Amino acid sequence: MYVLLKLGFLKTHNDNDDDDDVNDKLEFLYPHQQQATPPRQTQQNQNNVTKELNKPKGRMSAYTFFVQTCRDEHRKKHPNESVNFTDFSKKCAEKWKTMNDTEKKRFAELAEIDKQRYEREMAVYMPGEKRKKKKKDPNAPKRPLSAFFWYCKEERPKLKHINPSLSVGEIAKKLGDRWNHTQPDGKQPYEGQATKDKERYEKEMGDYKQANKKARQTHSHSQQQQQQQQQQQQQQQSNQHQQQQQAQQSLQQQAHHHNQNTNSNQSPNDVPQQQYTQPYGMQSFNPMQSFQPQDNVNGITSLFPHYNGYPVQLQMPHNNVGF
């Protein structure tokens, strides 16, 4: 416990520290005092934990090997004696400063061997995926406090007023010791507060879950409506496309039937009525009209061979070109 205080709680206390900060410190020192729900272990989480356990140990420096050797020798000489970590570390550091390079050489060699080991293991190590921390919902109910935390909430200002120089860790340690020596009758008021707070939490959590359930249902219903609207639009577009294809096919069939009927009703002896276009200087004529030769004073009337059974009259202008 002393080591934890030295390593984790060396910060001086600030008057503006939040109570939640203190609760977190207390929960770290006395986890058995706080009612907590263990996190659910999924297969993915277990795989990540296994991969982290298989991670190669960090390489050790020459000084670390020296401290480890001193500790082992001290345990052999004094097996029943507890080690004061702070004093022991100071003595090791002072001894290390007085050693020359020859005395440090064997520890440097051990560090070099361990460095090679670390590099070999890291070359084949596959790190696990880091889990993303779940974002806390600000609307979620505040978790209930245990009897010990209600006790700390009441006694902490008193202890701070009496000993203003105490750090957060030292205050937490003293509160934990006092709580452990408190009689059951003295704990009963705080246990009552903890029971009420737990009931409050359960009620708020029930309402919170119900509200989230309704929100999820509303969101799901909205998504279903959007999907239905998209399906209806796609169906309408498909129907319009089919109707256009059917109308086009119907027009093509009608045109085909009309052409067939026209060809079947036409007689082979029918001669089409058409107006022939004569070259420049010639009169146009209709082959269906009877041929009537006429005298032309200003021109020459010539008869040409028959064309498709009809004689052709050519009117040539009178000019200086002689025949």
The residue extents of the domains of the chain are 56-126, 147-250
Max distance between CA atoms of the chain, in angstroms, equals 159
Sort 310 into a burial class: Cβ within 10 Å, 0-12 / 13-18 / 19+: middle
pLDDT at 28: 45
Whether 237 shows a pLDDT value over 60: the answer reads yes
pLDDT at 32: 47
User: C-alpha angle with apex 98: 95 to 104, nearest 5 degrees?
Assistant: 85
Whether 44 shows a pLDDT value over 80: the answer reads no
Whether 56 shows a pLDDT value over 70: the answer reads yes
**CATH architecture of structural domain 147-250:** Orthogonal Bundle (1.10)
Residue 4: pLDDT band (50, 70, 90) is: very low
- Model confidence, pTM: 0.36
pLDDT at 193: 92
Residue 12: pLDDT band (50, 70, 90) is: very low
pLDDT at 25: 47
Residues 6+ apart with CB under 8 A from 154: 190
Among candidate residues 119, 110, 105, the one with its CA nearest the CA of residue 60: 110
The lowest-confidence range among 134-143, 151-160, 207-216, 314-323 is 314-323
Whether 46 shows a pLDDT value over 60: the answer reads no
Residues 131-155 have a mean pLDDT of 85
| Rounded distance between C-alpha atoms, residue 315 and residue 68, angstroms | 135
Spatial contact of 148 and 179, defined as CB atoms under 8 Å apart: yes
Q: Do the first three CATH levels of 56-126 and 147-250 match, i.e. the same topology?
A: yes
The lowest-confidence range among 19-23, 134-138, 139-143 is 19-23
The lowest-confidence range among 27-41, 68-82, 231-245, 262-276 is 27-41
User: C-alpha angle with apex 181: 179 to 185, nearest 5 degrees?
Assistant: 80
Q: Give the number of other CB atoms < 10 A from CB of residue 163.
A: 12
Residues 6+ apart with CB under 8 A from 176: 26, 29, 30, 33
Residue 310: pLDDT band (50, 70, 90) is: low
Domain 56-126 has CATH 3.40.50.150: no
Beta-strand (E) ranges in the chain?
299-307, 310-317
